[in-house]
Amino acid sequence: MRLVIADIGGLDPRLREEALLRFPAARREELSRLHGLRRSQGVAGEAIVRLAARAAGREQAGYARGEVGKPYLEGLPGFCFNLSHSGERVVCAFASLPVGADVERVAERDFRAVAERCFSAREREEIGASASPLTEFYRVWTVRESVLKRRGMGLGALRGTGAEGERVLSYVLTEGALLPYGAEKEAQYVLSVCLSEGEKEEMAASFCGGNALLSAYLGAE
């Protein structure tokens, strides 16, 4: 399993728009409807996927959807990926089997009402007992969403989804570092990845700046 993590703070709009023009028509049209940060997140995520597809010899492969709606690139069996973004971080998990990833920026919010509505009693107890309840809330949230995304289910199923029996790895993201969850209390972002049975847990992570990412995609020096 491989993670690519991009920091899109200070992304050059000119690079973003030039990269957008290089994408396959359907994806270009979809991303053109976004604005501001969401547009930057979408373009950076697509560039990560296209760079990996380029290495596999199918840079212009089109998207298709499986039985439950999970997207994949046509003509690339065993090329499984899942994108997530929050704030100025864009993450893509690559694996040989279906994978789900979710990253969330740790931002102050009234999380208790959400937890009461969506989480189990055990999960709420874990949040309440944590030294950092807000961060623990985001861990539970990302675990659940990564499970949904691996299965190809929509966010509407979040309330009824548990992670029992699932293989989920959780991390915290700080400035340029990926650490096991719990190793850093002042996390900037929380990231969870749900792996399919049979996928090895050995993980390689690479970091890049948004401008370097887009320059690489565009073939710039």
Residue 29, domain CATH: 3.90.470.20
Task: Give yes or no: residues 221 and 164 share one domain.
Answer: no
In terms of domains, do 211 and 173 share one? no
* Same-domain check for residues 207 and 176: no
Domain count, the chain: 2
The pLDDT mean for the chain works out to 90
Do 107 and 173 reside in the same domain of the chain? yes
Does one domain contain both 155 and 105?
yes
Q: Please answer whether residues 51 and 60 qualify as being in contact, where contact means their C-beta atoms are separated by less than 8 angstroms.
A: no
Same domain, 153 and 115: yes
Using DSSP's 3-state secondary structure scheme, residue 70 falls into coil
Give CA separation, 66 vs 6, 15, 73, 150, 185, in Å.
Answer: 27, 32, 10, 12, 38
Q: Are residues 115 and 181 in the same domain?
A: yes
Joined tokens for residue 13: 């709009």
Provide the domain limits for residue 134: 99-195
pLDDT in tens, 97-138: 999 999 999 999 989 999 998 898 999 999 999 989 999 999
pTM for this predicted structure: 0.92
Q: Identify the pLDDT of residue 220.
A: 52
For the chain, which residues score pLDDT lower than 70? 67-69, 153-163, 183-185, 220-221
Q: Quick one: 116 and 172 in the same domain?
A: yes
Q: Return the pLDDT at 68.
A: 67
Asked if residue 181 and residue 103 are part of one domain, the reply reads yes
Per-residue model confidence (pLDDT) at position 221: 41
| 31 shares a domain with 62 | yes
pLDDT at 162: 64
Same domain, yes or no, for 134 and 207? Answer: no
Cα–Cα distances in angstroms (integers) from residue 119 to residues 35, 70, 125, 145, in the given order? 32, 24, 10, 12
CA distance 209 to 123: 35
Regarding whether 110 and 80 lie in a shared domain, the answer is no
CB 21 within 8 A of CB 31: no
